[in-house]
Amino acid sequence: MASQGSTAALGAGIAVAGVSAVAVVGPLIGISPWLIAGAAGGSLAALTLDASQFGGLGGHLLAESLPFGLGRARLRRIAIHEAGHLLLARDNALPVKQVLVGSRACLRHGLRVSGSTELEPPPRVKMPLEDLRRWSRVLQAGMAAECLVYGGSRGGADDRALLGRLWGLSGHDVTTAQNEQRRARREVEQWLTRHRPELEARAEQLLQEL
């Protein structure tokens, strides 16, 4: 399971804020308007290249390196997401192979994502209903953890896609799949609410391991 936080708006916001500040202050301290325009164009080009060729990885690395606690806050949100997966995996007896927090840690392992919880793959493609329920709880746990702590989820697109594939291969009809996923989500939300201190403590531990 991999999570990719949203940095498109953040990257653009940083670029716009920086260019705006330089545009106001620059002429006062002797910076050429042509230099400002060139910097603005270069920033936008870099953002476009990063998004198209590297999946926004540069933006993620930049966001996670921001000063004044901003980068740390972003990493904590990723840690909350991965801690949700980790705790529910353990509660549902699904072995966890590796947990990574942050784009830098993921990049060292060849992954272009901002966070990852790697589980042992299921022994068979078509799983029994009870196994599908366990995977449904674990795959939705990262998004549910973010919603519990932050009121919404940024990551989880890969989790939803994998969950859809598992149910698509299961042979169950769409109504059953949807009902089971909603049921699993409610169970996860209730479990995480009861274990929120453990969730936040585990996320902090993941951060300290960076």
pLDDT digit string (tens) for 93-104?
999 999 999 999
- From 64, 89, 106, the end of a domain falls on 64
Is there a single domain that holds both residue 55 and residue 125?
Answer: no
Q: Say yes or no to pLDDT of 63 above 70.
A: yes
Is there a single domain that holds both residue 57 and residue 134?
Answer: no
Q: What is the pLDDT of residues 128-151, one digit of tens each?
A: 999 999 999 999 999 999 999 999
Residue 53 pLDDT grade (very low, low, confident, very high; cuts 50, 70, 90): very low
- Backbone torsion region of residue 127, taken as left when φ is above 0, otherwise alpha when ψ lies between -120 and 50, otherwise beta: beta
Is there a single domain that holds both residue 46 and residue 86?
Answer: no
- From 64, 88, 104, the end of a domain falls on 64
Higher pLDDT, 64 or 99: 99
Give CA separation, 162 vs 36, 41, 94, 118, in Å.
45, 38, 16, 13
In terms of Cβ atoms closer than 10 Å to its own Cβ (0-12, 13-18, 19+), residue 128 is exposed
Residue 8 pLDDT grade (very low, low, confident, very high; cuts 50, 70, 90): very low
Higher pLDDT, 76 or 16: 76
Please give the single-letter amino acid code of residue 81.
H
Is there a single domain that holds both residue 128 and residue 199?
Answer: yes
pLDDT of residue 155: 86
Among candidates 67, 80, 75, 148, which has minimal Cα distance to 105?
75
Q: Which domain holds residue 145?
A: 70-208
Higher pLDDT, 1 or 141: 141
Q: Domain total for the chain?
A: 2
Among candidates 88, 108, 84, which has minimal Cα distance to 206?
84
Q: What percent of the chain lies above the pLDDT cut of 70?
A: 73
pLDDT of residue 7: 43
Is the separation of the CB atoms in 210 and 75 below 8 Å? yes
Q: What percent of the chain lies above the pLDDT cut of 90?
A: 60
The overall average pLDDT reported for the chain is: 82
pLDDT of residue 65: 84
